[in-house]
Amino acid sequence: MTRQEITARPLYELKRLGNRVRLAVEDLCQRRGIEFMGGPQGQVVHYLDEHAGEECTIKDIEQELDISKSVASNLVRRMEKNGFVEVEPSKKDKRSKLVRLSEHSLDKMTIIHDFFRELDDRLVAGISSQELAVFGKVLKQFEKNIEEMKEGEGSNEEIDQKTDR
């Protein structure tokens, strides 16, 4: 793939890469017996694991995954049914529900951590730390540009000047 192809279609290339990563992760998860980790349920498990000991609510999950309230509620309900999380009303606010990992999920966390560490290592194989630093910088700029688009900032002229760099 040439630089011209990437710069002409960065959105397409990101989407294509994202799909390939998703499919590879789903396939590897299924082979390891942790198939629930390949999609949004895995993102919730990861979030709850990173925030262990904190009071996590459905609202927190909604914000972390950038999904609607109804999607977050249905996702947590499905995860509770599947035995991945436990839900209880908050003692501070009865309207709010606290979500935490179930014993079933906690038992698999070592396998899950090892799996994602291996996946990260395999994904960046052959890429120098300098190249990863540039990649990180580019991703941050993509995020900034997306936020500006969402806010309606930036004229076409400003966008053209940024792409000429």
Strands (E), 38-129: 85-89, 97-101
Q: Does the pLDDT value for residue 162 go beyond 60?
A: no
Contact 75, 68 (CB under 8 A): no
Q: Is the dihedral of CA 14, 16, 18, 24 positive or negative?
A: negative
Architecture, CATH, for domain 3-125: Orthogonal Bundle (1.10)
- The model's pLDDT over 6-59, given as tens digits with 9 standing for 90+, comes to 667 888 888 999 899 888 888 888 888 777 676 788 889 989 999 998 999 999
Q: Does the pLDDT value for residue 154 go beyond 60?
A: no
Retrieve residue 112's tokens.
Answer: 């899950």
Instruction: Return d(Cα 64, Cα 67) in angstroms, integer.
Output: 8
Number of H helices, E strands in the chain: 8, 2
Domain boundaries, the chain: 3-125, 126-165
Share of the chain above pLDDT 70, in %: 86
State residue 141's pLDDT score. 94
Exposed, middle or buried, 144 (CB in 10 Å: 0-12/13-18/19+)? exposed
